[in-house]
Chains A and B, each alone.
Chain A
């Protein structure tokens, strides 16, 4: 299958290793990955901040970039960006009175999947150790990001994939379904409330004794990781794609102190 990678702006610039891990997983499964070079960002930050006029060229660019390439499905290692492409792009196009763009955005959105959605629903991956050779002998916990959980209804896809990684130990995160408080520019405009939400999230992560908090959105992980770092916690964050890409031969390098897991498999 020919799979177009939507790296997303934050992963492209700040967490390239997450996109590289995504490519690795898909190529290991024998698929051809293409990278539409015109891509930049989904425009979620602009839309969520109310800057609709400024969002329009960003959304238009995304639609054009993904129309320019031939592929079967597109994938992004980010629930919130996929939710934006699927749900926000058509709404924005309609708001701007561009019905042609709305139809094009809907067509691109229909072919776009979040990584765990693609792996589980389309590619039939349910056992990461068996099918991807994933091996990650650490104790982790998992934060399901809001957009993946509520807009995309990912359910336990990411968590189940993580649990099927060789050597891993997954500790339940208390109040896992609570927002980490990132919310894009919310973390700047309402920094106090955002910090209060983050404090509860990082305390919950610390209470598990895990060395890593994994999840499916780089932005939430950046937020939680930033809070853990500020409070001098030994724990850090890692995208689930990097854990899936980690194997015995090619283990992902983990910065900071790492507690060795008891080993699930």
Chain B
């Protein structure tokens, strides 16, 4: 174990890697909104998964209790993380595994690259992993002459297409099958030139391609969905079985996992194995669940490593109002129901983590002061659909609002001139902090008529309000406020329907 002591009160180390948006969200969203094919693909896919999820969730009479249990377990884990990590380390090591601690993306990448080099190979197979995407492992390895082959079908499509994932569960959600066929024809070695876009044909082509990789790879890299502290066991949940091939065939298995993925023990899996598949793919159970505990002589990988990744998680844990974002089990239910995600797609969020959870997790991991990521908490209308869908009840809208507050506070006094929004909020604070102030302002309501046209509609507003009149009219205000009417003209009407109470 290196000299990183969890819970040590040092300055937080913020995350790095694929966690940053490259341009402010509104600009990225503007660009993505123009991609009508992507929007159509996404609408179709999210609505399909959404409906499937609702159906299977409704089958469980105790769904709400399961959500409560999942949430409570995760809260318990976060409150006791240092002790659980130590327990896990002890058990994992006792069963022949090796633990490495990585403070950030760079440290984690270096550990993985060194371990691969020790095996004398330049090719590894990978099972889909959010953690390795977060740290940009594939790119890091490529720069050092090591090829990492993604084996998850959707991940493979994205990799062959020189693209980025846009969804945490369905990385190629933005592609339709014709686009997938074109990618295979162009990029997959030894592919049948008569390949059609029939799903089965596409899957068979990928299978033949991957089988060659599985049988020759000496090293595999994986993520983990869960880690059980009381036994030192790791778990991966998947749909295709390609992950299981990675986890069992190669001699060396290197897993990279965020420190928040712990569960106290195997009995906790019962809850999460109900919550996760139903929330993510809308299935009662995922087809493949692999659990492994250290090394078993003569069976499976004989050289087993785990890199425990911080990369901003301790910093997120230190945020009293934001820390429950770490409860996330990466099911993607929030993005499938999000009206913003549905229209902009995952690329607009910049980070490995798109959608509502990304809008809170990315800035929590990188720190809200990270320039462009400060636009992410505003990428929501706060409709609350994500909170309703979250299997572990992360109150995403409340954390979004909290992070907006952190953002505004972090900029206070730092700017030479207040922004239009600052001035508007200051003015409105004065107006809304007293009935007398508001009454005084309302005396100006008749002036609103001047701004309106003959049809009593305002069609262009100045400054930041111009965004409103981009697609909406504003009705001219009335000449008398309610307050004024109440004071001058209100006389109670006689009851027509008397009530007892």
> Which residues of A approach B to under 8 Å, CB–CB?
1, 7, 9, 11-17, 19-20, 23-24, 27-33, 35-41, 43, 45-55, 57-58, 60-61, 65, 88, 91, 95, 122-124, 131-133, 146-147, 149-151, 177-179, 181-199, 222-223, 225-227, 229-230
Contacts and interface: CB of A to CB of B under 8 A. Distances in A.
Interface of B: 25-26, 29-30, 33, 321, 339-340, 343-344, 377-385, 387-388, 398, 401-409, 412, 421, 425-426, 428-429, 431-435, 437-438, 441-442, 445, 457, 459, 464-465, 467-468, 470-475, 477-478, 480-483, 485-486, 490, 492-493, 495-499, 501
B457 A123 contact: no
A61 B434 contact: yes
A16 B473 contact: no
Contact of B497 (A47, A132, A146, A223): A132
A223 B472 CA distance: 7
A40 B495 contact: no
Contact of A20 (B412, B438, B471, B485): B485
Contacts of A28: 493, 495-497
Q: Is the interface of A mostly helix, strand, loop or mixed?
A: helix
Given A54-B428, A55-B429, A61-B433, A16 B471 contact: no
A17 B489 CA distance: 13
Contacts of B473: 226, 229-230
Contact of A31 (B339, B472, B474, B499): B499
Contact of A24 (B25, B381, B493): B493
Contacts of B432: 9, 40-41, 43, 46, 58, 61
A1 to B, nearest CB: 6
Contact of B29 (A11, A183, A190, A199): A190
B470 A14 contact: no
For the complex of A and B, the 5 pairs showing the least CB-CB separation, nearest first, are A183-B381, A50-B404, A226-B472, A191-B467, A30-B495
Nearest to A33: B492
Contacts of B404: 48-50
B395 to A, nearest CB: 10
Contacts of A57: 429, 433
Given A28-B496, A49-B408, A132-B497, A189 B478 contact: no
Contacts of A183: 380-383
Contact of A40 (B379, B388, B431, B459): B431
A46 B428 contact: yes
Contacts of B339: 178-179, 181, 197
Given A132-B497, A181-B381, A183-B382, A40 B407 contact: no
Q: Is the interface of B mostly helix, strand, loop or mixed?
A: helix
Nearest to A72: B501
A11 B471 CA distance: 22
Contacts of A186: 378, 380-382
B354 to A, nearest CB: 14
A197 B381 contact: yes
A189 B467 contact: yes
Nearest to B445: A13
A37 B435 contact: yes
Nearest to A8: B482
Given A52-B408, A55-B429, A189-B26, A91 B398 contact: yes
Contacts of B431: 40-41
Given A65-B435, A229-B473, 7 more contacts: A13-B438, A48-B401, A50-B407, A55-B429, A179-B339, A188-B465, A192-B26
A177 B388 CA distance: 12
Given A1-B501, A226-B473, A95 B405 contact: yes
B435 to A, nearest CB: 4
A104 to B, nearest CB: 16
B497 A133 contact: yes
A27 B493 CA distance: 6
Contact of A50 (B29, B401, B478, B496): B401
Contacts of A45: 425, 428
Given A1-B499, A54-B426, A227-B472, A146 B383 contact: yes
B496 A133 contact: yes
B440 to A, nearest CB: 11
A224 B497 CA distance: 34
